[in-house]
Amino acid sequence: MSHIVRKPGVLAGTRVAVFLALVHAVNDVLTAILGALLPTLQARFAASTTTLAVLVAAFSISSSVTQPFLGAVADRVGLRQVAGIGVALAAVSLSLVGVAGSMALLLALLILGGIGSAALHPVATSIVGGPSAKNPGLAVGQFTAGGMVGFAAGPVLVLFLISRWGTDATPWLMIPGLLLAVGVLTLLPVWEPHSTGHLRRVFDRRLLASGPILKLTSAAVLISLTFITVTSAVPLWLVADQGLATDAPLLGWTLGVFSLMAGLGAVVGGAIAARVGYGRTTALSLTAAVPALIAVLLVPPGAWTLVTAAVAGLFIYASQPLLIVAAQNHAPQAPAAAAGIVIGVGHAVAGLLYVGVGALQGAFGLAPTMAVTFTLLIPAAVIATRALRGRDGSDMGPSPASMLPTEGNAGRGDGLSTTPPPAQQDLALRSVRR
């Protein structure tokens, strides 16, 4: 169900999408702070790889497991309110990570910052990737790219700041986020809620039991686990095994190039998928990412590290907007909640699993454990491809009409009906004809 504007805002149409991509970029500058500071935090607190993995997991879980709930809250009480408050909370909490004086305070800041960041993603993706978008996959890809630009700039900016002024400079990073939070609350339109019932009814538990959404989320878990491994373990590996300093520019540039190309990959993936299909795009991109990621560990630190990281980044996130749009199409009555499940639950489970990965890194070494983790993208490709195909075996397209029942699957359910109401079917079919 498309979001209906109750009251126009200062921004409308394409400007809303551009503004949300900018907000996403600034927000993700701060979400990248942990990966950039992990070597510094390891030295400050004499932390083991397992302890660092717990920090990564705490942030990943808090920034993701809350997304379905916050998406449901936003569907119920207001999109811009939830997003604006979340952006402000993330800006304040994450900017203070660099000056945290104890492990307990650091953990609390990461959890609060993760919750704040979680509020933005399901809300924004449900707006830009709704049925009104001509190419939802491309629209969500552009939003994802905005975040990846920020995530790419974050490590470079953070490491530049601490190399010049020390970690005491990180609180200044909250200012842009606070300004944009005010913009979210004042510039965006006011949308009608998707439900006027109780919140427990807004978050439909059948979403979790839906076969397609469960598969999409399972694939997202494996993709997120690989992404977390790159952004968290590669800097540690460059310092511990390759002898780089904790504030070496190559650390920031490696994470930056990887994330920037991941953002580009999301845009390219969304554009290509509209022509060749969601399943094919996902299978090819995830499979191609595996050798590129392993190559990062094989080349000597330097320019080739950046080249291999760039290629890996280009492929690893090409499927991200496709999974989100597919989930929203499967749950048109609660698109923000559906997006929150795929993005949120997927990333949360990945964060929890990363605690085990961190323990394995301590036992068997960083490089061998990373290499094995990277191969998880292959089963992710298999699972996602199955979820992105209709019951008749056809590859899914960007329109909700691509999931309308066919003669061969009518009446066969997955625990949650993916059939839109008749009015929405007519709208979807008219869109296809045009």
What are the structural domain ranges in the chain? 11-391
CA-wise closest residue to 155 among 265, 317, 313, 16: 313
CA distance 238 to 259: 17
CA-wise closest residue to 204 among 373, 97, 78, 336: 336
CATH of 11-391, one of 1.10.10.10, 1.20.1250.20, 1.10.3720.10, 3.90.1150.10: 1.20.1250.20
In three-state form (DSSP H/G/I as H, E/B as E, the rest C), the secondary structure along the chain is CCCCEEECCCCCCHHHHHHHHHHHHHHHHHHCHHHHHHHHHHHHHCCCHHHHHHHHHHHHHHCCCCHHHHHHHHHHHCHHHHHHHHHHHHHHHHHCHHHCCCHHHHHHHHHHHHHHHHHHHHHHHHHHCCCCCCCHHHHHHHHHHHHHHHHHHHHHHHHHHHHHHCHHHHHHHHHHHHHHHHHHHHHCCEECCCCCCCHHHHCCCHHHHCHHHHHHHHHHHHHHHHHHHHHHHHHHHHHHCCCCCCCCHHHHHHHHHHHHHHHHHHHHHHHHHHHHCHHHHHHHHHHHHHHHHHHHHHCCCCHHHHHHHHHHHHHHCCCHHHHHHHHHHHCCCCHHHHHHHHHHHHHHHHHHHHHHHHHHHHHHCHHHHHHHHHCCHHHHHHHHHHHCECCCCCECCCCHHHHCCCCCCCCCCCCCCCCCCHHHHHHHHHHHHC
pLDDT in single tens digits along all 434 residues of the chain: 445 555 655 666 677 778 888 899 999 889 888 888 888 898 889 888 889 989 988 998 888 777 777 877 776 777 778 888 999 999 999 999 989 989 999 999 999 999 998 888 777 776 765 555 566 666 676 777 788 788 788 888 888 888 888 888 899 999 999 999 999 888 877 665 655 445 444 445 555 555 788 888 899 999 999 999 998 899 999 998 998 988 788 998 998 899 889 888 888 888 888 888 888 999 999 999 999 999 999 999 999 999 999 999 999 988 888 888 888 777 766 666 677 678 777 877 888 899 999 999 999 999 999 999 999 999 999 999 888 875 544 555 554 444 443 333 333 333 333 333 333 333 333 333 33
pLDDT for the residue 182 = 93
CA distance 36 to 156: 8
The DSSP bridge partners found for residue 113 are none
CA distance 388 to 411: 19
pLDDT for the residue 398 = 52
pLDDT for the residue 420 = 37
pLDDT for the residue 14 = 72
Q: Is the pTM of this model over 0.85?
A: no
Phi-psi category of 245—alpha, beta or left, where left has phi over 0 and alpha has psi -120 to 50? Answer: beta
CA-wise closest residue to 128 among 315, 316, 328, 269: 328
pLDDT for the residue 124 = 77
CA-wise closest residue to 350 among 209, 219, 234: 219
Sign of CA dihedral 384, 390, 394, 396: negative
